[in-house]
Amino acid sequence: MTAQKSEAPSKPTDRPPLDVDLALQGGGSHGAFTWGVLDRLLQEKWLRIDGISGTSAGAMNAAVLASGYASGGPERARSTLEEFWRSVSRAALLSPFQRGPVDIMLNRWTLDSSPLFIAMDLMARLVSPYDLTPFGGNPLTSLLKDSVDFAALAAGPIKVFVTATNVRTGRGRVFRNHEITPEVLLASACLPSLFQAVEIDGEAYWDGGYAGNPTITPLVRECISRDTILIPLNPVERPGTPRTARDILNRLNEVSFNAVLLKELKMIALLRELADAGHGEGAQWAGMRIHMVPNAIMADLGYSSKLNAEWAFLTMLRDEGRRAAETFLATHREDLGHRSSLDIDRLLDGT
């Protein structure tokens, strides 16, 4: 059994506690990168997590962390996250989507050569999940029930906001601690080409990434923190022009899943500009300090790897996440609580 790395914080600090909130993107098994970032941030005793907004895998990371934290503080949150991702890996042992021998030999994490993934990918474009009974359920249902203490989550100190997309209205709905159930988490991660919509309170929901990946608004309006740390999984920029049908679809998904988040960040930049000009509108938004953990590895990973839940892949992503968090803390430790470290003003360029 592979032991989780638990290096001590690289630089001791006597800074007073600082409230921060976290914005966690979705991205299937790529969410193990976020696990690594969270694992490292939880070791910083001076950082207090006030709220977490998450979508899809980000929502699951948020719920697992918050329920573990409510039960036993940061260390329990760390162990609960590891237990969750181990369970994901164990469940994937029975998955038909596995890497082929050539990909294993060449140390490629892609499933592009898997015959069953290719068949599923083609079938998803031609056949509705409502036509295929096996695709009606979600294998994560029982796993979430075992991994998240929903009672502890509801009463816990960390505010959690989970976004899902209402199929009828096309609008995002944000669920809060006491509303979060396994069905809410499944709805936030429900890709319409793979799974039937999840019904909650008489309404059907799809993946929250279409409406907010993640949603920033509740972090501004309902949290006392003024520092938001964004943990991205979908590259905003990807070099080159996609040529294959699969690469084109992957890039379209990345663009659409980033669109709402970029609009919210652009709004913060615009309100900050107005505040600097002496206008009083949106002072609460303008006062937000935005930070982002670097994530270079996702530009090297394709869509199919989001379905790869091998333990070796998950722990590789976890370790990359820890390293990225270490780099972020080493570079921007002193920015937290004082200034934004993400240049969102450049989002106004060309407008």
pLDDT tens digits for 21-75?
A: 999 999 999 999 999 999 999 999 999 999 999 999 999 999 999 999 999 999 9
- How many C-beta neighbours within 10 Å does residue 312 have? 13
Structure tokens at 317: 């992503």
Structure tokens at 108: 């490629």
Query: Taken in order 260, 261, 262, 266, is the CA torsion positive or negative?
Result: positive
Burial of 280 (0-12, 13-18, 19+ CB in 10 A): exposed
DSSP string, 212-256: -TT--HHHHHH-S--EEEEE--S-S--SS---SHHHHHHHHHHHH
First-last CA distance in the chain: 52
Shortest CA distance to 229 belongs to which of 78, 7, 51, 69?
51
pLDDT of residue 235: 75
Per-residue pLDDT of the chain (351 residues), as tens digits, is 333 444 445 455 578 999 999 999 999 999 999 999 999 999 999 999 999 999 999 999 999 999 999 999 999 999 999 999 999 999 888 777 777 777 777 678 877 777 677 777 767 777 788 777 554 457 788 899 999 999 999 999 999 999 999 999 999 999 999 999 999 999 999 988 888 999 999 999 999 999 998 999 999 999 999 999 999 998 777 788 877 777 787 777 778 777 888 888 887 877 776 665 555 546 676 788 999 999 988 888 888 888 889 999 999 999 999 999 999 999 999 999 999 999 887 766 655
CB-CB contact of 21 with 49 (8 Å)? yes
CA–CA separation, 143 vs 286, rounded Å? Answer: 40
CA–CA separation, 339 vs 351, rounded Å? Answer: 24
Cβ-based neighbours of 292, under 8 Å, separated by 6 or more? 229, 230, 231, 232, 341, 342
pLDDT of residue 282: 60
φ, ψ dihedrals at 102, nearest 5°: -65, -45
Return mean pLDDT, the chain: 86
pTM: 0.88
pLDDT tens digits for 267-283?
A: 787 777 666 555 554 66
Task: Return the H-helix or E-strand segment holding 188.
Answer: helix 182-188
Cβ-based neighbours of 224, under 8 Å, separated by 6 or more? 19, 50
CA–CA separation, 187 vs 204, rounded Å? Answer: 8
CA–CA separation, 309 vs 90, rounded Å? Answer: 9
CA–CA separation, 113 vs 305, rounded Å? Answer: 11
Query: Taken in order 186, 207, 343, 297, is the CA torsion positive or negative?
Result: positive
